[in-house]
């Protein structure tokens, strides 16, 4: 990370690492946790609660981020458990999250997921609809959107997709970009990512 940030002319602390612990065995996660990593990304609400609930009190500086799709019937649990929800991707989720945050008096950071490659199999707001969705999330539901997240197509260069997400963020006054994974984080950092989500490069193949 530091090498990629230096090559991009950015400060060493301009981005941070989220360790993607979803589906990993605890014996793979624990050494990373003990080494000082405190940000972890999870895909499913229930799985995260089962994994992290028993140990959370021992690590008060732990930060848990939901990076997978959120179902509306899990919104209450997600608001109560996660520090950051990176996968706000449709009107219904924005509305339910707003209701739950008010009800619980808790406000996890929220990111809007953009389907940057417009792929049918992926979640996220289409790029052409992102401006309107952000306006609705902010003005209708009163949500404070802290960042944008994307997962670009596997095939082809990633740079154009990262550049597009940055443009959407800039014109909407959003300063945080969650983009870049194990195989493309250097490119993402060159295009302004503030958070890279790395799993296999840290833990190896998923359990």
**33-67, pLDDT tens digit by residue?**
999 999 999 999 999 999 999 999 999 999 999 99
What pLDDT does residue 206 have? Answer: 59
User: What pLDDT does 58 receive?
Assistant: 95
What would the two tokens of residue 128 be?
A: 């052409």
CATH number for region 2-203: 3.20.20.10
What is the rounded distance in angstroms from the CA atom of residue 130 to the CA atom of residue 110? 15
To which residue do tokens 């406000």 refer?
Answer: 107
The model scores a pTM over 0.85: yes
Buried b / exposed e across 66-104, counting CB within 10 Å, b at 16+? bbbbbeeebbbebbebbebbbbbbbeebbbbbbebbeee
- Other residues' Cβ atoms within 10 Å of the Cβ of residue 147: 19
Domain boundaries, the chain: 2-203
- Give the number of other CB atoms < 10 A from CB of residue 116: 27
At 203 the pLDDT is 86
Q: If you write DSSP's letter for every residue of the chain in order, what string do you get?
A: -HHHHHHTT--TTS-EEEEE-TT--HHHHHHHHHTT--EEEES-HHHHHHHHTTTGGG-TT-EEEE-S---GGGHHHHHHH-SEEEEE-SHHHHHHHHHHHHHHT---EEEEEE-TT--TTS-SB-GGGHHHHHHHHHHTT---EEEEEE---SSS-SHHHHHHHHHHHHHTT--EEE---TTTHHHHHHTT-SEEEESHHHH-S--
What is the chain's pLDDT, residue by residue, as a tens digit (207 residues)?
999 999 999 999 999 999 999 989 999 999 999 999 999 999 999 999 999 999 999 999 999 999 999 999 999 999 999 999 999 999 999 999 999 999 999 999 999 999 999 999 999 999 999 999 999 999 999 999 999 999 999 999 999 999 999 999 999 999 999 999 999 999 999 999 999 999 988 887 655
The answer to whether the beta carbons of residues 42 and 51 sit under 8 Å apart is: yes
| Distance between CA atoms of residues 23 and 53, nearest Å | 15
DSSP bridge pairs for 84? 65, 109
């Amino acid at each position: 990370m530091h090498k990629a940030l230096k090559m991009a002319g950015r400060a060493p602390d301009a981005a941070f690492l989220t360790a993607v612990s979803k589906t990993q065995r605890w014996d793979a996660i624990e050494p990373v946790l003990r080494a000082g990593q405190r940000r972890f990304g999870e895909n499913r609400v229930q799985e995260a609660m089962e994994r992290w609930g028993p140990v959370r009190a021992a690590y008060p500086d732990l930060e848990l981020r939901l990076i997978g799709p959120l179902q509306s019937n899990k919104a209450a649990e997600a608001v109560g458990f996660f520090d950051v929800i990176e996968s706000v991707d449709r009107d219904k989720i924005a509305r339910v999250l707003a209701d739950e945050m008010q009800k619980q008096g808790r406000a996890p950071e929220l990111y809007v997921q953009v389907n940057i490659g417009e792929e049918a199999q992926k979640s996220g707001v289409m790029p052409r609809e992102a401006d309107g969705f952000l306006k609705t999330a902010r003005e209708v539901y009163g949500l404070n959107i802290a960042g944008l997240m994307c997962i670009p197509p596997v095939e082809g260069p990633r740079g154009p997709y990262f550049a597009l997400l940055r443009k959407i963020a800039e014109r909407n006054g959003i300063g945080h970009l969650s983009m870049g994974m194990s195989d493309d984080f250097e490119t993402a950092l060159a295009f302004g990512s503030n958070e890279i989500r790395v799993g296999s490069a840290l833990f190896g193949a998923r359990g």
